[in-house]
Chain A
Amino acid sequence: MEETISFQLNGKKAEVVIEPNQILLGVLRDQFGLTGTKYGCGIGFCGSCTILVDNEAVRSCNMAISEVAGKNVVTIEGLSQGGKLHPVQQAFVDNDALQCGFCTPGMIMNATGLLLKNPDPTTQQIIEGMENNLCRCGAHIRIVDAVHVAADNMKGGKK
């Protein structure tokens, strides 16, 4: 049975009439055209589909659309504000923290969620926080650097 599900999506009110058990990732990509969020494994294991729900990084590939009813959802498309890259995005660019770029949106959303929880992480905390996001190209070292730089910049450190 279809239901009307409402939530905040990238700062705007969103509404969709849909079976409530539909997988969120597919709904974001097909119904809302937000293709920045990627499918990687379908079992919540690789992190390519990571988004923020109420400021918490979650996996959208094994989550039902009904689970975000009334909540605040942010995807990679909603991260930059007024044409300016979010500090995490900027740090990924500046640190060459990507190669093929397919895991990148998930990495950035996960890192953003991590920094919202812990604005001043140690290297070990970054590694633990990013551990369940997979990258096949081997950009890991630069991703850790980028998260450090983003943390500094978000604290109002070096601009």
Chain B
Amino acid sequence: MKKDVKTTKSGSTSEPSGMKRRSFVKLMGGGIFIFFNSWNVMELFAQTAPAQDKSLPKDYNAFLLIAEDGTVSCFTGKIEMGQGIITSLAQMMADELNVPFENVKMVMGDTDLCPWDGGTWGSLSTRSFGPNMRAAAAEARGVLLNLASEKLGVPVARLEVRDGIITDTKNIKNSVTYAQLTKGKRIEKYLDVKPPVEDYTHFTCVGKSYKRVDAVAKVTGEAKFTGDLRLPGMVYARILRPPSHGAKLTSVDYSQAEKIDGVTVIRDGDLVAVLHENRNKADAAIVKIVAEYSFSEMPVNDKTIFDWILKAESTAREVNLVGNLETGQKLSTQTFASEFHDPYLAHAPIETHTALAQLAGDKMTVWASTQLPFPLKDTLVSELGFPPEKVRVIVPLVGGGFGGKSAYRQAMEAAKLAKITGKPVMVAWTREEEFFYDNFHSAGVVKINSGIDNSGMIKFWDYNVYYSGTRGAETIYDVPNIRTTGYSRKKDTPAVHPFATGPWRAPNNNTNTFARESQIDIMAAAAGIDPLEFRLKNLKDEKMIACLKAVADKFGYMSVNTTGNIGKGIAVGTDAGTWVAMIAEVKVDKTTGKVEVLRISCAQDMGLCVNPEGATIQMEGCITMGLGYTLTEELLFEGGDIRNRNFDTYEIPRFSWLPKIETVILDRKDQAPQGGGEPAIITVGAAVANAVYNATGARLFRMPFTPARVLDALKDTK
């Protein structure tokens, strides 16, 4: 975290990252501008800058503009990918400024116009960006009140603001609108102090449900995703791809591709691309290229990966140590050792990675479906040699990210080809390219040793996670002796994964919650205690207890008697500052091994809930998407050869899978809002696994729970 950045009000002498403050103000016309300086941008966004801080703003950046017509524009480097912040951030702004919700316009993901931002991930937009945006709004409100006080000839204390109108409380006819106040003015204000902690109780828009502001555009086909943009002279590029990761191009013959009318072939080192103004023609040309490769692949596949991971030379990092494990072992009357496996997963957003790059004069503009506009800009600067002020990244609506669009290879490809050809170049990956170049959810192994005493109290907890990361690895139970260790690749040793891995909705927490909550269930069964009672007995965390009780109530846990092939299972966890408890009801076909999820209840404490409807939709989305990693999703590979490259072999959730979903949000109006886009996905795997156990006695240690694996587990119960 940088804290030694000097503050000056006149801006910095070094080169700006985005547009200069003066040019920005000129471009936008009149109104009231609220800027912030680079003083503590790290602190502001609670995010660390990638690599070398290159895109940190050196000039003032705009937060907010109240234009001459009274409309409010809010500038954010965050992007909209379906999570709904285009609506919820506008709500927060409307509240703070006392303007109608409809008057707020979000300007998102444009590196020239928006303040620096580390990227849209980690469910940080509401909990981290939100408070700072509101501080800017409060500043603007102060300016407006002072102007009104002058204009109306009454002290600020006598003024009241409602719907963008400032009124003298002693004489309601004496009033003025924001538009009247800003007309013909150009006022620039700088936010120089860290925003105070807000009181969340006085809000009017926040806490109410709003429909998505982008809904109409999305149902009419008007909404523009990156691939829908068109520029004069634009060409589509299709790029020659290796058959597997690790394959090297040894020879290439593109003479047949060149024969197609209007095709241009570009070769630049290993980059071979065909360009055509018509997508169909580019598609036809790329398959005419004949290429040969040399192969050097890792001797690992989707079956051997877990042994491979455990055998790899790793660095162990102890993330938590409480008490003494040996003491705990002595106090235990039963001990349990388990090993859990989680495979690689694809993000599989329906919009594939897409980018359009244009070199106009000496300025490179890249429109891209990415979660990281500013880091992409950095990479364009460092890899293509453009000065920072000559690169602009704009992110239109993104058709799903889930962490997968934190990689932006496609944008680098488009920019490189635009630089070479001088033409606007569109790179829109095929589904096969999307699967091949995904930065997959990492495969991982979790080993847990734990023990309980005669009364069913957990006495020790030795938790070891290999290559899955430690998000969500903390023990939420009240255990006197704990050790939590994360194992990752040792520096300067060969790569362990045959391809790229990266964040996948609630990164690693799905793996860790599956392992932890399964182990808890195993211990509860051995203790002969109901899993709900066992958890409540071993929990002291009040938020978790409240969530667990709320979900048990919603589900009707005590009154639902499971018989035959029907079972109920519990899982709890925390993610992105939010507490989640879930109960699943499943039906298991013991002949086929097929698991059907009948019902999922979920309770969540996310602090103040900004948009209850939006948050509920996110919970439903998490639960539905979670069924995929739980039941079917798994990357099949042999070395660097990805075997599932389309939806016919990588099965994602469908309509017929839908369980009945019941959600509860424990709204905490007195507490800061927390993340909502990820938490409810973490508990799906364990809740289903525990329900399968409840129904059949079969214990599952490997996700996803395919019919074959369920049948195998059933054999062990006989």
Question: A residues bordering B, Cβ < 8 Å?
Answer: 22-23, 26-27, 29-31, 33-43, 45-46, 48, 75-77, 79-80, 85, 89-90, 92-94, 96, 98-105, 108, 126-128, 130-144
Minimum C-beta distance from B217 to chain A (A): 8
Known: A77-B220, A85-B220, A126-B655. 5 other contacts (CB 8 A): A40-B431, A100-B349, A100-B400, A102-B225, A130-B655
Contact A135 B350 (CB under 8 A): yes
Give the top 3 A-B pairs by smallest Cβ distance, nearest first.
A36-B221, A100-B82, A102-B399
Residues of B with C-beta under 8 A to A76: 219-221
Minimum C-beta distance from B107 to chain A (A): 19
- With A26-B278, A99-B84, A101-B218 known to touch, is A140 a contact of B655 (CB < 8 Å)? yes
Minimum C-beta distance from A138 to chain B (A): 3
Contact B219 A85 (CB under 8 A): yes
Residues of B with C-beta under 8 A to A38: 225, 227, 350-351, 399
The CA of A35 and the CA of B279, in the complex, are separated in Å by 13
Quick check: is B98 within 8 A (CB to CB) of the other chain? Answer: no
Which of B83, B224, B432 contacts A99 (CB under 8 A)?
Answer: B83
Contact A136 B620 (CB under 8 A): no
- With A35-B227, A100-B350 known to touch, is A137 a contact of B621 (CB < 8 Å)? yes
Residues of A with C-beta under 8 A to B431: 40-43, 46
Quick check: is B158 within 8 A (CB to CB) of the other chain? Answer: no
Q: Which of chain A's residues has its CB closest to B625's CB?
A: A138
Chain B residues numbered 209-237 whose CB sits less than 8 Å from any CB in chain A? 211-212, 214-225, 227-228, 230
B628-665 near A? 1/0 per residue, CB < 8 Å: 00000000000000000011100011111010010000
Minimum C-beta distance from B6 to chain A (A): 41
Contact B279 A137 (CB under 8 A): no
Residues of A with C-beta under 8 A to B309: none
Q: Which of chain B's residues has its CB closest to A22's CB?
A: B280
The CA of A98 and the CA of B621, in the complex, are separated in Å by 10
- With A33-B230, A42-B431, A140-B653 known to touch, is A102 a contact of B221 (CB < 8 Å)? no
B178-219 near A? 1/0 per residue, CB < 8 Å: 000000000000000000000000000000000110111111
Contact A141 B661 (CB under 8 A): yes
- With A23-B280, A93-B211, A99-B83 known to touch, is A42 a contact of B430 (CB < 8 Å)? yes
Which of A75, A100, A135 contacts B397 (CB under 8 A)?
Answer: A100
Contact B648 A45 (CB under 8 A): yes
Q: List 14 A-B contacts (CB under 8 A).
A: A22-B280, A29-B228, A38-B399, A46-B431, A46-B647, A93-B211, A99-B400, A99-B621, A100-B399, A102-B351, A108-B219, A126-B655, A138-B620, A140-B658
Minimum C-beta distance from B504 to chain A (A): 12
Contact A99 B280 (CB under 8 A): no
The CA of A77 and the CA of B223, in the complex, are separated in Å by 11
Contact B623 A138 (CB under 8 A): yes
Which of B428, B648, B658 contacts A39 (CB under 8 A)?
Answer: B428
Quick check: is B518 within 8 A (CB to CB) of the other chain? Answer: no
Chain B residues numbered 101-119 whose CB sits less than 8 Å from any CB in chain A? none
Quick check: is B348 within 8 A (CB to CB) of the other chain? Answer: yes
